[in-house]
Each structure stands twice: as C-alpha cells, then as structure tokens.
Chains A and B, each alone.
Chain A
Amino acid sequence: MELVFVFLIFGLLGVVLLSMNALLGPKKTNPDKEKPFECGSPYLQNEIKPFPIKFSLVAFVFLLFDIEVVFFFPWALIFKEMRGPALVIMLAYGAVLAAGFIYAWKKGAFEWD
C-alpha cells in the first residue's frame, strides 16, 4: 500500500513538474538551442578532429589524489588499534604519492598550454 502511495506521489509530482515547465517556462529559442547537444565537440562534423588531451593528464592527477582519500577511510577506522605503525604506513604511502605529485609537477602536467 505504501509503495502505491510512493509511486502516486512521486509520479504525479514528476508529471506536474514537467507540465509546469512547459506551461509557465519562457519560450525564447535560438538556433543554437535547437541543436542536439554533444559534450565537448560540435554536433556535426565529418571526421573526428584532434581534441586536446590535457584532460587525460588532469584525470590522472585527479586519480592520484582521489584514490589517496579512499585509502584514508579504512585507515582512520583502524588507527586507534594500530597507533604508531599505522601512522608510519600512511606516511610511507603519502611519500609515494608526494613523489608522484612532484614528478607530475616537474614534468609540466599542470601547465595548460
């Protein structure tokens, strides 16, 4: 029974919101708005043109630090039990990451052009 209500409420809400937008929203269009949207490139082109690969570097560096944070969570949970050794292990881990960061920096990963 509750499930039915959930579907009713959220379904109705969805329909209402969608129709509200069509009823009340401003309708100023221009040619660019009517085009299909494709992320990062013009929507119609004859061949795949070269695109800047800088994003991949950003992605790599992001991975470096994102994964670091992921490992901090389980570490924080067992820190109380392990104390000293845990700190040493995390410092060693941080040192490896720092080495990676310095390497990326020195190699010019953060220079956009």
Chain B
Amino acid sequence: MNSFGAVVPLLVVVGAALIVFLLEAFLKKENKNYLAYLSLLALIGCGILSANAWNGGLTYFDGMLRLDNAALFLTFLFLIAVAFVILIGMKYISLQDANHGEFYGLLLLALSGLMIMVSSTHFIVIFLGLEVLSVSSYSLAGLKRKDDKSSESAVKYFLMGSFASAFLVFGLAILFGTAQALDIPGLVDFFKAGPDNQVLGVVGLGLVLVGFAFKIAIVPFHMWAPDVYEGAPTPVTAFFSIGPKAAGFAVLIRLLAPYWNAGFRSGKLFGFLWALAALTMLAGNLIALRQNNIKRMFAYSSIAYAGYMLIAVLAGDGAGLLFFLTIYMFMSIGAFGSLIALSRKGREYNELGDFAGVGFKYPWIGAIFAVFLLSLAGFPPTAGFLAKFYVFVAAVNQGLTPLVLIAVLASLISVYYYLRIIVYMYMREPEREVSIEMENPALYLVLFLCLYGVLQLGLFPGNVLYLIKQAVAALL
C-alpha cells in the first residue's frame, strides 16, 4: 500500500538528528545530556510509529521504500541497539574526553542509514543507506579526537570502507549492465531466466557480495575490524558489532531468500559462501586466542559470529538468522557495556591483566560480565546456546553437516578465550590497582536489560520467535 506513513519513522529519526546537531552547537557543555534524552525520545517515537506499521506492508517512493515485517523487525532491533548505545555512552563520553553532542546526532544518522538499508529492495537505495551509515560510522570511530588509536581507527575504517564501497558500486554497475535491473526481484528474475551473459552477472553479484563481506567483516575481508574495534570509543564499538552486521545480513537474505527453494545449494555462489563461512569461523576464533586486549578479542569474536550467521544464510534459515541477530545484539552490547563499567575518568581497562581479581572486587559487574561471556561461548541456559543450536540444527537438516562440524569445533575453540577472562576475574590475584567510576545508572540499566534479554531469550524465546515468524514470512 502506497502511503506516506512508510517514510514517517525515518523522518522522525533524521529530524531528531538535525535538531540534535543544531542544539549541540548552542548548548553549553554541561547540558549535553539533554541531547541524549531528546534522542531517546525520538527513538521511542520512531518505535511507536514502526509498531503501528506492523503487518501494514506500507511502501513509498514507487516501492523503493518498503516497510515489510522483516524491515520493521530489524528496525526495532536497531532502535533498541541504538538506545542501549546512547545509554551506555552518556557517562562514558564525558569520562573519556569525547563529550561531543555529535555522538548522539551521528548515531541517529547511522540509525537512519540502517533503516534505509533494511527497508528497501532496490540496490541504489540500499547503497544510499549504506553510505549514510558508513559516513556517520567513520566519524563516530574518531570521536575521541585526542586519542591516537581513535584517529587511526577512523582513518582505517574510512579507507577500507570506501574501498569496499568501490567494489560494491563496480559490482552494481556490472549487474545493471547485464541484467538491466537493480531491484532484487528484477535481479532474481534475471538469474532464474538464465540467459547467455550470466557469467558477467555472476561476476557482478560476486563483487557486490565482496562489498557486503567487508561491511560484515567476513574473513578474508575482515582486516579492518580489529583495529577499528580497538580504537573506537567502546559504545561505538558496541554499535559497530551489531548495526552494520545486521543490516548487511538483512540485504544478504533479501537477495538470497528467493533461491532458498530453487537450487540454491547447487548454485554457483554456494561453494564460495560455504568456504567463506568455514574460514571466518576458524580464523576468527583462532586469532582471538592470541589476543590480550579484550576489545580486540571481541572484534575477532564478532568476526567469528559473522561466520555462524553465514551458516544460517547457507541453510536458508531466515528465522534462525533474525533470532541469532537479536540474541547477538543483547550479548554484544552487554559485554561491551561491562567493559565500559570497568573504566574511570580518562582510563579504560581493556587488557586481560586488568581483569585479575575483578570478580571479587566488583562482584556485580563481574558476575554480569561472566554471564555475557558464557552466553557468547554458547553455554545453556543462556541465549547464546539457543541461537547456535537453532542455526546448527537447521543446517544439519539441509545436509550441511561438514560445515556444522567445523562450526562446533570453532565454537569449542572460542570457549577457551571467553572462559579465560572469567578465570582471570575469579582465580587470579590482582596485578595492578583497578578503580572504577561506580555512579552510572544508565549503564546499569542497560546491563540489566541485556542480562534479562539473554536469559529470557535463552529460556522462553516464544514471543520473539512468533514475531520473527511473521517477519520472515515477508521475505519468502
């Protein structure tokens, strides 16, 4: 149904971003928290508007913007993620000398990019969303202006990101040249019809996939991730770990879902994606073993997680993928939130050695962090177990047993480095003095909500699965 209502949630976010930027220029430094409240208000408004559009199937701009249930579900996911990031960032940015109101404005703009990406089936619009997301991400990564690592991360992200965008655009140009279409249904028709010049089309599609593989950090296109994750301010890292990844996978399943029941597993790209998934899981987890910086370790762990998600794509399990992304959002933001909890003015504790004895000195933060780590490692009854379980079962049912075997091995490897942090927290004598800023209610709220999410989804995932079923119905 063609309705202006399809644009309104997006307009709310963009309008709020503009107002935040303007206010930021006029507000005094000590009043910057109002920007956070305003952003949260906009997120809530956008959430209510999106909830009203559920099952509505609204479209606008001649179908270029399509708010189907899948788009809406992911929009909710992004709204929650950005709200969490804003809450965990409020205190952090003032403690870490990055107290710029741009943080909120850029996050809202990045959110609008994500929303554009997931609610379109036309590649030009998807590319537009991707660029809106990327440009704001580059500046978010460099928000700690006086910190060398932050600047390094911004520059690296910018260079690698533009490089990836070039691949993407080149692929799109080739696709348009061969298929005379850039909307996903048109491309699907072209590839199903199987005309003569399909080789060129597959090359174009491959380049497009490479572009997205950069964004979702799949080995061998992952090399930017560790440096960027390490250097960026921690709330921004939490955002990177879920936002671009989820949007990239959303585009991927939109593109591949029509083939799931039509010879996908014998297609040309299947072997390519299979190898990428295996490589991503193994390389991500093996390199993470050697990391002593926790943020870097989480970067490699998030690379490995992209590999697990790729299995869901290969198995044609859209519901499993969305469920996995939901759970990963809670786990990842929870884990990064715990890292933020362990910081004080001008100092962050990111080295493994800093964690020695933390479990006894700060029992609550230590315990919550341990739950997130166990969930990331995939222990029941946490949600991390269920996420992997559903995806692996779906993959085995589709005859992908070798890949699942690799995945289980990789996930066993990952247990070592997640548990190592817990061992440090509870079984080592403290090596150096760790003192942290305790007064941070917004952060504790997020930690609690993430903990709730991880346990709720691990024990009683029924409600969310019901929503996800409705969302996936829109894809097929």
> What residues of chain A have their CB less than 8 Å away from a CB belonging to chain B?
96, 99, 102-103, 106-107
CB distance from B318 to the nearest CB of A (A): 36
Q: By the criterion CB–CB under 8 Å, are B18 and A99 in contact? A: yes
Contacts of B22 in A (CB 8 A): 99, 102-103
Q: Is there an interface contact between A106 and B26, defined as CB atoms closer than 8 Å?
A: yes
Distance of A55 from chain B, by nearest CB (Å): 20
Q: Which residue of A lies closest to B18 (CB)?
A: A99
Residue in chain B with minimal CB distance to A92: B11
Question: Which single residue of chain A is at the shortest CB-CB distance from B24?
Answer: A103
Let me know if B25 is at the binding interface, CB within 8 A. yes
Could you name 13 residue pairs across A and B whose Cβ atoms are closer than 8 Å?
Answer: A96-B18, A99-B18, A99-B21, A99-B22, A102-B22, A102-B25, A103-B21, A103-B22, A103-B24, A103-B25, A106-B25, A106-B26, A107-B25
Q: Which 3 A-B pairs have the closest CB atoms?
A: A106-B25, A99-B18, A103-B25
Q: How far is the CB of A72 from chain B (nearest CB, A)?
A: 20
Q: Contact mask B9-39 → A, CB, 8 Å, 1/0? A: 0000000001001101110000000000000
Residues of B within 8 A of A102 (CB): 22, 25
| B: contact size bracket | under 10
Measured CA separation A96–B11 after assembly (Å)? 12
Query: What are the residues of chain A within 8 A of B24 when measuring CB–CB?
Result: 103
Report the separation of the CA atoms of residues A102 and B21 in the bound assembly, to the nearest whole angstrom.
10
A103-B21, A103-B25 given. 5 additional CB < 8 A pairs? A99-B21, A99-B22, A102-B22, A102-B25, A106-B26
Q: Which residues of B contact A103 (CB under 8 A)?
A: 21-22, 24-25
Which residues from B are CB-within-8-Å of A99? Answer: 18, 21-22
B18, B24, B26 interface centre (most CB from chain A within 10 Å): B18
Q: Which residues of A contact B25 (CB under 8 A)?
A: 102-103, 106-107
With a CB–CB cut-off of 8 A, which chain A residues contact B18? Answer: 96, 99
Closest to B21 in A: A103
* A85, chain B: closest CB distance, angstroms: 11
Alpha-carbon gap, A99 to B16, bound state (A): 12
Q: How far is the CB of B5 from chain A (nearest CB, A)?
A: 16
Residues from chain B with a CB closer than 8 A to the CB of A106 are 25-26
Tell me the complex Cα distance, A107–B18, Å. 15
CB-CB under 8 A from B26, the residues of chain A are 106
Give complex CA distance A57, B25 in Å: 16
In the bound complex, how far is the Cα of B63 from the Cα of A6, in angstroms?
53
**Bound Cα distance from A99 to B26, whole angstroms:** 12
Distance (Å) between the CB of A111 and the closest chain B CB? 14
Minimum C-beta distance from B4 to chain A (A) = 11
User: Smallest distance from the beta carbon of B23 to chain A beta carbons, Å?
Assistant: 10
How far apart are the CA atoms of A107 and B26 in the complex, in Å? 9
Bound-complex Cα distance A106 to B25 (A) = 6
Closest Cβ of chain A to B18, distance in Å, is 5
Once the chains are docked, how many angstroms separate the CA of A103 from the CA of B109? 16
Min CB–CB distance B24 → chain A (angstroms):
8
Q: Could you say which residues of chain B place their CB within 8 Å of the CB of A96?
A: 18
Q: Give a binary string over B272-288; 1 marks a CB under 8 Å from any A CB, 0 the rest.
A: 00000000000000000
Given the complex of chains A and B, what is the CA–CA distance between A99 and B17 in angstroms? 11
Closest chain A residue, CB of each to CB of B19: A99
- In angstroms, Cα B25 to Cα A99, docked, is 11
- A61–B24 alpha-carbon span in the complex (Å): 19
Q: Which partner residue on chain A sits nearest B22 by CB separation?
A: A99
**Separation in Å of the A99 CB from the closest CB of chain B?**
5
| Assembled-state Cα–Cα distance A100/B21 (Å) | 9
Bound Cα distance from A16 to B21, whole angstroms: 59
Kindly name the residue among A96, A99, A102, A107 whose own CB sees the greatest number of chain B CB atoms within 10 A.
A99
User: Once bound together, how far apart are the Cα atoms of A106 and B26, in whole Å?
Assistant: 7
Cα A15 to Cα B22 in complex, Å, equals 58
Which residue of A96, A102, A103, A107 has the most chain B CB atoms within 10 A of its CB atom? A103
CA distance A47 to B132 in the complex (A): 37
- The interface residues of chain A lying within 8 Å CB-to-CB of B21 are 99, 103
Q: How far is the CA of A66 from the CA of B21 in the complex (A)?
A: 22
How near does chain A come to B432, taking the closest CB pair, in angstroms? 38
Within 8 Å CB of A107, what residues of B?
Answer: 25
A5-B145 Cα distance, complex, nearest whole Å: 62
Closest to A104 in B: B25
> In whole angstroms, what is the CA distance A96 to B15 when docked?
9
Interchain CA distance A82-B22 in the complex, whole Å: 31
- Report Cα–Cα, A107/B22, bound state, in Å: 10
Bound CA–CA A103/B18 (angstroms): 10
Shortest CB distance B7–A (Å)? 11
